[in-house]
Amino acid sequence: MGVERKEGQPYTPEEILSFERIKRAMTARVLDRIEALWQGKQPISGDQINEVIADEWQRVKEAVRSSPVAREAFRKYLERTISEQISKLVQEDRAELESLGVVEKSL
């Protein structure tokens, strides 16, 4: 018996603000999905439980990745990384660029 994918409510921004909130929200959703699968029938296997957990974890990660907070954090990370790379290049070629008239700050 495979585990059907039950589409629940999307995760709210508040549910994905912290690891503790993610754990609480995910636990509740996994329990709801497993109870819906079970419905008083035969026992649910460990593999089925693991499949529901893995599926729900993917939904959490998708929610985090698509959140405005994640996009802003990624943008800041990119800005910092790019700035560091450019600074390294400037330091490597500083003497050459200075000999060609490049100054520290322009007026």
Say if 20 falls within a structural domain. yes
Say if 48 falls within a structural domain. yes
Place of tokens 């990745």: 65
- Confidence band, pLDDT 50/70/90 cuts, at residue 7: low
Say if 34 falls within a structural domain. yes
Say if 97 falls within a structural domain. yes
Closest CA relative to residue 50, chosen from 68, 37, 69, 66: 37
What is the domain range of residue 25? 13-66
- 52 shares a domain with 90: no
CA angle 12, 72, 17 (to 5 degrees): 35
Q: What is the pLDDT of residues 16-56, one digit of tens each?
A: 989 999 999 999 999 999 998 888 787 889 999 999 999 99
- Confidence band, pLDDT 50/70/90 cuts, at residue 2: very low
- 25 shares a domain with 53: yes
Closest CA relative to residue 25, chosen from 35, 14, 34, 36: 14
Cα distance between residue 103 and residue 44, in whole Å: 70
Judge whether 52 and 5 are in contact, CB under 8 Å: no
Count up the domains in the chain and report the number: 2
- 61 shares a domain with 93: no
- 83 shares a domain with 62: no
Place of tokens 């700035």: 83
Say if 106 falls within a structural domain. no
Say if 80 falls within a structural domain. yes
The pLDDT assigned to 5 comes to 44
Q: Compute how many other C-beta atoms are within 10 angstroms of the C-beta atom of residue 97.
A: 13
Say if 94 falls within a structural domain. yes
- Confidence band, pLDDT 50/70/90 cuts, at residue 107: low
Say if 56 falls within a structural domain. yes
